Structure formats: structure tokens, C-alpha cells
Chain A
Amino acid sequence: MVAFILRRLLISIGVFFVATFLMYVLVANAGDPLEDLYNISDPGDRAARIAARTQIMQLDTPVVVRYVHWLGDLLGYLWGAGSLGVNRAGQAVAPLLGLALSSTLRLVLLSTVLAIVTGVAVGIVSALRQYTSFDYTITFFSFVFYSLPIFWAAVLLKQFGAIAFNDWLGDPVVPLPVFVLLAALGGLFAVSLVGGRTWLLRGASFAGGFLAVAAVLLVLSQTDFLARPSLGPVGVSVLGLAAAVGITALVSGLAARRVLIASLAGAVVGIIIYVATLSVLVDATWPLLLGLFAITLVVAGGVGAGIGGIDRSRAVRAAVLSGAVVAGLGLVDWLMFAWPDYVANSFGRPIATIGSNTPNYTGNLWQTTLDSLTHIVLPSITLVLISFAQYTRYTRSSMLETMNQDYVRTARAKGLTERTVIMRHAFRNALIPVTTLVALDFAAVVGGAVITERIFGWKGMGALFIEGVYTVDPPPVMAFFVVSAAAVLLLNIVADIVYAYLDPRIRLS
């Protein structure tokens, strides 16, 4: 394994140098870096400015030499004492990158994770419901998302997801036609998800979906939930226990009593820790939260192991998952608690359209987190829309192919439940080819981030890149490129390792 990783690392470093060289040469030749200076009318001034820029950008030396210089700067930077070169105004690039790096990586990673989770989940369901209305709907929307120009989608989201939504939040009333429409959509969604074969079952699932959405909307509007959202201990407990049941259904099926009890116990552990810390978490810090999270998982796992009996491994898994879900619910509850203050602070317009943070904003951990979230939500939705389609399509076809494999038939012939056949035998094999897509798609997400950041006014790496390309200035472009290429290569290696983990056939080679 170590040898495998080392080999991949060496190849990646080679690829990295070739790619950076290619990129550097291309950027340096992308235009005339002195273009804007030719229009200066005063010949003396013009000559002086041209000379100055030529000197800063080393335009009198060959591109290859400039690249080697830049490499030296890069290595120095990695060593901890370099500038990553200077841009054409003479500013060191490293501090500019430092600011941009964290916000862009946050956006790109969040979008990638969200796209993988939603895309894979929807793709699996779509495959299991092949040729149903759910499948057709998902297929159609995947194609639409895949065909959306990202900048167009971003502008639309900004218009409707932020500006119009903020307006609506000022007086959050759902008009009756919209109310009926949403509820009907909920009903249709339930029908296609259940995939009933008789009209009775279809009618029942439609009514169920319709009423559920209607009830949620009614509760939301009657309790002023949008203005003062909250789950409270009751909400966290109810949702947490329901999640525990759902997790059991996925992990082992509800027939496995011990797993169900373990899963519920895991949720109860989470609830106890959530209630016990209610008074101390107002001034929480991330290390404290992570510590609590770890404690929750360990205790839930221990309880699961104690209860599990002959189903120990599945019981532990269910209990840990339930504990984690409750912890997540607690987090959501705390963020909801901070919401009214945050809305007031943002003058009633919480969903931001510009930047990655409100400048000079101070508040406790919950408020600053909310601030980041309200800024990142729309750009990341834009990016997710694009790669979501890739993941659903790919997962769907991979899952369909796996379901036709002989070993799935063998699993059925053994008398396994359909749940075990799908979750244990088909799902894991279907994931194997999806891992290779992650690395490929990541580059596309980085490219998309360049555009999204521009539309949402983020001072991220995308801005660094575009500015650099406009002005034919390699160092800022290369700063962007070093980070994105390194991230892609690293992700490739991780994907290879995950691949090897999922597929024992390539472990040894």
C-alpha cells in the first residue's frame, strides 16, 4: 500500500511540473502584457512605464528562465519563506493567495461533497426505480442541469434565490396557489418514490405526500417558524429517534430487533449529550464541538456494541450513525437559535449576494457560521447543480449494470432480503467506478468556481486567476493553478486509494 501511494505521488509530482510548465508558457503568451501602456500619450512616461513593467515582469528574459525563477519562488513558498513571485504591480502574490485560498477551498469542497452525496443517492434510487416517473423526472432534470450554462444559472439564482427570497422573507406568506402547488408536488414525489403498482397505493402515497407537505407548510406559517426557527429538545428528540428507525431500516432492516434497539440507544446518547450541554454551548468553540461530537460517537458505539449481540457490527454502525445524526440536529438547532439575531443584523436580508463573508462581522461561533452559510449557499448550489447531474447519471448507469451482474443473482439465490442484496452487494460495487468520477469532476467544479465567484463577488482564487489572465500576468494565475492542480492530483490519489479499498482485486497490483 505504501509503495502504491509513493508511486502515485511520484507520478503526480511529475505531472504537476509538466502541467505548471505548460500553463506558465501559455499564460505568458496569452497576449501582450504591455498592451495597456501603448496608449499613454506622453512618450517619456510611456517609455518609463514600459521599462518598469518589463523589469518587474522580467519580460527581457526567455519564458523558460522566467518559469525556472517562478519554480524557485514556489519551492521557497512551500519551504515557508517565499513570495510566490510578484504580480505586475510588484505586489507579492503569496499574501493575496492566502486570503483567497480558504474561501475558495471551502466553496469547492462543500459543493463537491454535497454533489457526491445527493447525486449518488438520487442515482441509486433512480436506478432502483428504472423506467418509473421518478426515474424519468430525474433523468430529465439531470439533462437540464447538465445543459445549464453555469453563469446563467448563477445569475438566476442570485435574482430569485437571494433578492426575491429576501423580499419574501420580509412578509413570509405562502399564497394559496403556491401552497396547493407545493403540496401537490409533494404528493407526486411520494407517488414516484414509493413506486406503487396499484391505483390504491398510488392514491394513498399521493395523499400522504400532499398532507405531509401541507402540514409542514401550515406549521411553518402558523408558528412564525421562518422568523424564529427552532427545533428545541422535543424536535431534536423526535427527529433523532425517527432517524434512528430509518437508519436501522437501511443498515439491517427493522426485523433485526437488537440493531433497532442499539440504533435508538445511539440516538438517546446523542439527545442526552445535547440536553446536558444546552447551557454551555452559547460560547462554543470548534474544538469543543468536535470533542463533544467524538464523545457522542464513542459512547453511542460502545452502547451499540453492548446491545448488539450476534449482530454486533451492524448494531455499532447503526448506533454511531444515529448518534451522528442527532449531533447534526443539535447543530442545526443552535444555528436556528442564532437566526433571528443574524437576520436583524443583516437588515432583514440574510441571503447574501456579494462576497464570502460580511466584512468586519463579529459575533459568536453560531453567528459567524450562519454568516458563512448565508454567503456560501447560493454559489455552492450553482456548483452542485452542474456536477449533481454527472453523479446521478453515472451512479444510475453503474448501479443498473451492477444489478445485472451474476453475483447479485447469486445473492438473491442465497435467499438474502432485497435490502441486503442492494445495500451490501450492489451498492458497494456500483460505487467503485464512481470514485474515478470524483477526481475528474473536481477539476470541473474548480473551473465552475472561477465563474461563480465572479458572479457572487467573492475575492477568491477565481478573481486572482481572471485578473491575471486579463493582464497576461503569470504569477497570480500560477498561484491559482498550483492550488487547483495540487488539489486535483491529491484527490486523484485519494480516489485511487478509495478504489483499492472498495475493490480487493487491485489491492496487490
Chain B
Amino acid sequence: MTTTDPRTTAGEPGGPGAAGDSGDASGLSVVALSQGQLVRRRFFRHRGALAGMAVLLFVIVLAFSSIGFAGIPGWWHYSFTQPTPIENGGRPTLDVVPWLDGDGLAWGDHPFGQDNIGVDYFALTMRGAQRSLIIAFMVGVVATIIGTLIGALAGYFRGWADSLLMRVTDVFITIPVIVIGAVLGRRFGALPIALFGAILGVLLWTSLARLVRGSFLSLREKEFVEAARAMGASSSRIIFKHILPNSLGVIIVAATLVIAVAILTESALSYLGLGVRAPETSLGLLISDYESAFTTRPWLFWWPGLFIVLIALSVNFIGDGLRDAFDPRQARVRS
């Protein structure tokens, strides 16, 4: 109570009635912000999420603009398939540390070095990042659609749909994601990567469905849903017009976290040789290909790993920021 008391006066988001009285221009200044404004404000105050957002955007722009995408050429002058003569043992020319035998910030000819046959490793890493991002995005889209749909049905109609979902979840809990992913990857890994991503998405919807279900279970008992039902709204109208917009926070946060899991799952599967196959590439596959070169050409191992961590970390931070932004209980009182 003590901590919520001051906040009730600061305008509870969506508190019924709170907004109605404040229009009075007589010196009452109950700040009534819309849900969207509040979310945006809280998100932009989360420094980790902002940094994550910046890093992720940077990686996406870098990966797609450098080597080009879908026939559109990029600005990087080396290809990720054609070897060039190996210079300086293929060592990276990127130099950012001026005080350690370097010349200060320098991009160089092959910033990430070259692999053992002379392919530019920056181009290769960018290609891998591109592929991994596409797969993660596909997983996110497919898992979110399936998870939201099933979670919404189970949470709203309960009954058999709900028990079916819970039993399916029970089954999926016993199967580690990597395990079923490996089995599916063995079968579908050679497919075009977007399709492979979609298939992985079919695996990763369960956690999302459970969260959406929980959200629907509690929202369906709320007064505004009762009201809509009393006015004779159809089930589909109640689901899409009344409950879904209120579950959006849960869905967005869960979808973000699914994408982070997808990046890691894809790279692990590709590392095991049970995901993306040559001639296609991905960050996980690059690490797998060059793992044995760790002692002689460590950079072949470092760069793709660094990019996986960078992507997963920034997505996780964005997810954390979104959760804080959508969950008003976590509003912080600075000490």
C-alpha cells in the first residue's frame, strides 16, 4: 500500500474514471496518459533496452547493406563466396586499439580477416548474420501467430481446447528444444532458410501459448468483457476487439524472447550439423566449420560467436525493457 499510494494519484494507466474528471481546467492536474504513451515512456527510460535497440538496428543494417540482399548489391567490395589471395596469413586488419602496436582506428582491407582459402571473413560473417536474422525473424512470426491463436482459444473457450493445449505443453516440456530441433533439422535443414525458420517456429510456440492463455484467462473475467458479452458481441469480436489488444503486451514481450531463443537454437543446431547446411551458411555453421582452427586462426571462431551474442543480448535487453514498460507493477521508485 505504501508504495502504491503515491502512484494512484499520479494516474493509474487505464484506471476507469480517472481520465474523465481531469479535463476540468480548474487547477486539477491528474496526469492521464494513454496506455501507449505510458509504455513508450517507460521503454525509453530503460537504458539497457535502448542500447539493445541501437545495437540490433546497427547489426541488421550492417548485415543487409554491406553485402547486399536479394540481388541488390551492397557497399562491401568482397564477395562471401569468391576467395582472394591470402594476405598476412588472413589476419584481421581491423584495428581499434591504438595503444597496442596499432595505428589507431583502422578498417583495413579485410577487417575480420580471411578464412583458410582466402574468402573475406567480414563478408562471410555478414552473410551468416543475415541468414540467422532471417531464420530468427521467421521463427518469431510463426511462433507468435500459432502461439497467440492457440493460447487465445484455450484461454477464452477453456474446456477441451484448454486441456488439449495443456496436454500438448506437457508433452513438449519433456522434449528438449535442441532434441526435437535436431530431429527436424536433420529432415528440413537443407530447405530454403526462411522455410526452415518457419518449421522451427512450429516448435517454439508453446511457451508463448501458455503466456497468452494465462493473460486471456484473467482478462475474460474482467468487467469490460462482461459488458461486451451483455451487449451481445460475438466471441470473435470479444477476442479480437476487447481481449487481444489488452494482451498485446504479453504477446510482444513473449515474441521478443522467442526470437532470442530462436537465434541460439538455430546456431546450436547448425553447429551440430543438424541445421542450416552448406552451401547456405549461418553464424552457427561458421563456428562449426572453423572450430578446429581455433589455435591457428582464432578470429574465424571469434567473429561469428560475437555476432550471435550481440544479437541475442540486444534482443533479450529489448524484451526486458518491453516487459518493464508493459508491466506497471514494476514502476520504480528511485531511491
Residues of chain B contacted by A401 (CB below 8 angstroms): 329
Q: Please report which residues of chain B, range 155-207, place their CB below 8 angstroms from some CB of chain A when the two chains form the complex.
A: 167, 170-171, 173-180, 182-184, 186-187
Q: Could you tell me if B180 and A26 are in contact, using CB atoms closer than 8 angstroms?
A: yes
Closest to B274 in A: A469
Q: Could you tell me if A19 and B171 are in contact, using CB atoms closer than 8 angstroms?
A: yes
Per-residue CB contact flags for chain B residues 104-125 toward chain A (1 = under 8 Å, else 0) read: 0000000000000000000000
A-B contact pairs, 15 of them (CB 8 A): A30-B187, A139-B48, A146-B312, A147-B260, A149-B268, A150-B264, A150-B268, A409-B2, A446-B176, A446-B179, A450-B179, A450-B182, A451-B178, A451-B271, A466-B182
Is residue B44 within 8 Å, beta carbon to beta carbon, of the partner chain?
A: no
A447-B305 Cα distance, complex, nearest whole Å: 20
Q: Could you tell me if A147 and B313 are in contact, using CB atoms closer than 8 angstroms?
A: yes
Q: Could you tell me if A443 and B182 are in contact, using CB atoms closer than 8 angstroms?
A: no
A29-B180 Cα distance, complex, nearest whole Å: 12
Given contacts A152-B287, A488-B174, contact A143 B187 (CB under 8 A): no
Instruction: Kindly provide the distance from the CB of A195 to the nearest chain B CB, expressed in whole angstroms.
Output: 11
Q: Could you tell me if B173 and A131 are in contact, using CB atoms closer than 8 angstroms?
A: no
Q: Could you tell me if A447 and B183 are in contact, using CB atoms closer than 8 angstroms?
A: no
Is residue A313 within 8 Å, beta carbon to beta carbon, of the partner chain?
A: no
Q: Could you tell me if B332 and A131 are in contact, using CB atoms closer than 8 angstroms?
A: yes
Q: Could you tell me if B268 and A151 are in contact, using CB atoms closer than 8 angstroms?
A: yes
- Which of B's residues lie within 8 Å of A, judged by CB? 1-3, 48, 167, 170-171, 173-180, 182-184, 186-187, 260, 264, 267-268, 271-274, 284, 287-288, 291, 294, 301, 305, 308-309, 312-313, 315-317, 320, 329, 332, 334-335
Is residue A420 within 8 Å, beta carbon to beta carbon, of the partner chain?
A: no
Per-residue CB contact flags for chain A residues 130-162 toward chain B (1 = under 8 Å, else 0) read: 010000000110011011111110010001000
Residues of chain B contacted by A444 (CB below 8 angstroms): 176-177
| Chain B interface main SS type | helix
Is residue A192 within 8 Å, beta carbon to beta carbon, of the partner chain?
A: no
Per-residue CB contact flags for chain A residues 6-27 toward chain B (1 = under 8 Å, else 0) read: 0000010001101100110011
Instruction: Kindly provide the distance from the CB of A24 to the nearest chain B CB, expressed in whole angstroms.
Output: 10
Instruction: Kindly provide the distance from the CB of B310 to the nearest chain A CB, expressed in whole angstroms.
Output: 8
Is residue A329 within 8 Å, beta carbon to beta carbon, of the partner chain?
A: no
Instruction: Kindly provide the distance from the CB of B208 to the nearest chain A CB, expressed in whole angstroms.
Output: 14
A131-B324 Cα distance, complex, nearest whole Å: 14
Is residue A31 within 8 Å, beta carbon to beta carbon, of the partner chain?
A: yes
Q: Could you tell me if A484 and B178 are in contact, using CB atoms closer than 8 angstroms?
A: no
Is residue A440 within 8 Å, beta carbon to beta carbon, of the partner chain?
A: yes
Our pick among A409, A447, A470 for the contact of B176 (Cβ within 8 Å) is A447
Q: Could you tell me if A466 and B305 are in contact, using CB atoms closer than 8 angstroms?
A: no
Q: Could you tell me if A147 and B173 are in contact, using CB atoms closer than 8 angstroms?
A: no
Is residue A472 within 8 Å, beta carbon to beta carbon, of the partner chain?
A: yes
Instruction: Kindly provide the distance from the CB of A158 to the nearest chain B CB, expressed in whole angstroms.
Output: 9
Given contacts A18-B171, A444-B176, contact A404 B260 (CB under 8 A): no
Q: Could you tell me if A484 and B176 are in contact, using CB atoms closer than 8 angstroms?
A: yes
Given contacts A26-B183, A140-B48, 11 further A-B contacts (CB under 8 A): A16-B174, A18-B167, A19-B171, A143-B48, A150-B264, A151-B284, A152-B287, A152-B308, A447-B179, A451-B272, A488-B174
Our pick among A26, A155, A454, A481 for the contact of B294 (Cβ within 8 Å) is A155
Closest to A142 in B: B316
Our pick among A143, A446, A466, A481 for the contact of B313 (Cβ within 8 Å) is A143
Is residue A254 within 8 Å, beta carbon to beta carbon, of the partner chain?
A: no
Our pick among B171, B273, B316, B332 for the contact of A146 (Cβ within 8 Å) is B316
Given contacts A15-B170, A31-B186, contact A152 B305 (CB under 8 A): yes
Residues of chain A contacted by B287 (CB below 8 angstroms): 149, 151-152, 155
Is residue A489 within 8 Å, beta carbon to beta carbon, of the partner chain?
A: yes
Q: Could you tell me if A31 and B187 are in contact, using CB atoms closer than 8 angstroms?
A: yes
A146-B313 Cα distance, complex, nearest whole Å: 8
Our pick among B177, B187, B264 for the contact of A149 (Cβ within 8 Å) is B264
A448-B246 Cα distance, complex, nearest whole Å: 36
Is residue A382 within 8 Å, beta carbon to beta carbon, of the partner chain?
A: no
A147-B175 Cα distance, complex, nearest whole Å: 21
Per-residue CB contact flags for chain A residues 438-456 toward chain B (1 = under 8 Å, else 0) read: 0110011011101100100
Closest to B313 in A: A147
Q: Could you tell me if A19 and B175 are in contact, using CB atoms closer than 8 angstroms?
A: yes
Closest to A454 in B: B272
Q: Could you tell me if A147 and B176 are in contact, using CB atoms closer than 8 angstroms?
A: no
- Most chain A Cβ neighbours within 10 Å, of B174, B301, B308, B313: B174
Is residue A398 within 8 Å, beta carbon to beta carbon, of the partner chain?
A: no
